[in-house]
Every structure is written in structure tokens, then in C-alpha cells.
Amino acid sequence: MDSATAMRADREEKFIPGQPDMWAFILFESCVFTAYFAVYLYYRKQDVSGFLASQAQLDLGTGVINTLVLLLSSWSMARCVQAAREGNHGAALNNVMLTVAFALAFVVSKVGEWAAKIDQGLTFTSDEFFSFYYFFTIIHFIHLLIGFLFLGIAWYQLAGPARRSQELIETSATYWHMVDFLWVMIFALLYVLR
């Protein structure tokens, strides 16, 4: 350990939030998504104007709202972890409920967006861009649905005085934030890239 690291170590107690297994999963999953993104950019490169023409059918405003809602959910989940750590389980429970509400808002918004696209005749097989659009949004949606399971675990831990495992709450929060940051990347690559 060099001296700068030692100084930092003295100042702050180091810890891994939640279970290390979850971090191994997240690092693995992030690399898998990097590979998906690479495949997307490779195919996009073969037909930039075609991809851009299809991308123009997406509503950037909807994507921005999706992102803002997930950022709100991440914020409330981070507050849940802090409150639970300080023993304020009432506030932590309120924050996990808030997170569930934001997550549900994302579900409604995303399903609405898919319905609108399908109405316009833009489906999985319309063109390459929309194949990627549905692939990314659906695979992200599946991660989000699994996220509800973790939010449920945090909720269950906080609801009963006999439970309250800080480690499980942190593990659940860590998973939830992954759902958020993967969306940040997907949003940038599908909606904003030129």
C-alpha cells in the first residue's frame, strides 16, 4: 500500500456495499452489455443513414423522461440505504416505496412507448435499428422486472423489526442502481447518438 492509499484508508473505513457476489455479477453483466453495445455500433456503422432515419422515429423527450424517472428511483434507493444504515428504518421504508413507485412509472412509460411504436407499425422486424431498439429495451426491461424482486427483498427486510439485514438492503440497492446505469448507456446510444 502506498502512502497516499494508506492515508485514505486511515480517513475512511473501506467497505463493499452489499454482498460481493452481487458486484461480481454486475461487473460481468456490464461487460456483457459493453459487448452488446459494440455489436450495435458495428451494425450501425454499416448503415449510418438508415439507422439515423429510424432513430428519428424515437421521441427524445420520452427517453429523457424515462432516464429522469430512473435517476429519481436510484436517488431514493441510495437514500433508503443511508437511512437504514443510520437505523432510521421508517424513512428507509418510505424511500424503498418511493423507488417502487418510480420503477412503476418507468414501466408505464416504457409500455406506452412500445404500444405507440407498434401502432406506427414499427416492430422488432421493421429494420435493423428497431431490432436493436426492441432488443435493448426488452432486455433492460427484464432486468428491471428482476429489480422489482430486489426492491421487494429490501421492502420485506425493512417492514419487520426482526429482519432488517443491512447487507441484503445494500445488495438490493446495488442491483437497482445497475438497472439505472445500464439504461443511461442504452438511452445515450439509442436516442441521442448521431
Residues that bind another protein in the complex, under the rule CB under 8 A: 5, 12-17, 23, 27, 30-31, 34, 37-38, 41-42, 45, 48-49, 52-53, 55-56, 60-61, 63-64, 67-68, 71-72, 74-75, 77-79, 81-83, 86, 88, 91, 173-174, 177, 180-181, 184-185, 187-189, 191-194
To the nearest whole angstrom, how small is the minimum distance from the Cβ of residue 8 to another protein?
9
Measured in degrees and rounded to the nearest 5, phi and psi for residue 56 equal -65, -15
The b-or-e profile of 32-54 (16+ CB within 10 A means b, else e) is ebeebbeebeeebeeeeeebeeb
Question: How many residues can be counted in the chain?
Answer: 194
Please give the Cα distance from 189 to 34 (Å, whole number). 11
State in angstroms the smallest separation of the CB of 71 from another protein.
5
* Beta carbon nearer to another protein, 56 or 159: 56
Question: Closest separation between CB of residue 163 and another protein, Å?
Answer: 21
- Can you tell me the distance from the alpha carbon of 107 to that of 101, in angstroms, rounded to the nearest whole number? 10
